[in-house]
Amino acid sequence: MKAYQQKQLLERIGRDGATVGRQLPEAIEIQGETIDLRAFVFEIKRRETIPPGERDRVETAKRNLRRERVERVDLIENNEVSYEEGQDHVEAIVGIDRALNALDQLDPVDLEAESKRQEAADKKRWTNFLKKALGHEDDNSRNRR
């Protein structure tokens, strides 16, 4: 695969809206085993919350999907596949991302904790902005001199 083709495939994977409008794949092969991905995700999404007995199954599926995603991206990054195979991997990766998005949305959101995380991130960004705007150095840059 040529460098520009590899770059093109990796850009498609990293695109923010890569999963928008995409359907879940019917099935996907993960570590030699074919999984009915669409049926699994729809079965889990039908419920409003994940029952305690199913939570382990969902977490295992998410871990396996993430692992498979990393392995497929590595094949493209390390140029271990042809361009055509890379295109197939990109389609599978986008399908995996779509499934992970759907499964992640099932987790209950702790609004208070999320609010605190956002507030802390906002304070950090504001502090960094002020330091740069006022020309103050951070402690690390002073210690390097």
Rounded to whole angstroms, how far apart are CA atoms 48 and 144?
Answer: 53
Rounded to whole angstroms, how far apart are CA atoms 18 and 13?
Answer: 7
Full-model pTM: 0.65
Backbone angles phi, psi at 135, to 5 degrees: 80, 15
Res 66: pLDDT: 93
Q: Is residue 49 a contact partner of residue 126, using CB atoms and an 8 Å limit?
A: no
Mean pLDDT by 10 residues, the chain (145 residues): 91 82 80 83 76 79 91 93 93 89 70 75 88 72 47
19 and 9 both lie in a single domain: yes
Residues in the chain: 145
63 and 119 both lie in a single domain: no
Res 144: pLDDT: 46
| Residue 13 identity (one-letter amino acid) | I
Backbone angles phi, psi at 34, to 5 degrees: -85, 130
98 and 58 both lie in a single domain: yes
- Structurally, the chain folds into a number of domains equal to 2
Rounded to whole angstroms, how far apart are CA atoms 7 and 17?
Answer: 17
Question: What domain range is 144 assigned to?
Answer: 110-145
Res 145: pLDDT: 44
Among 142, 82, 125, residue whose Cα is nearest residue 90:
82
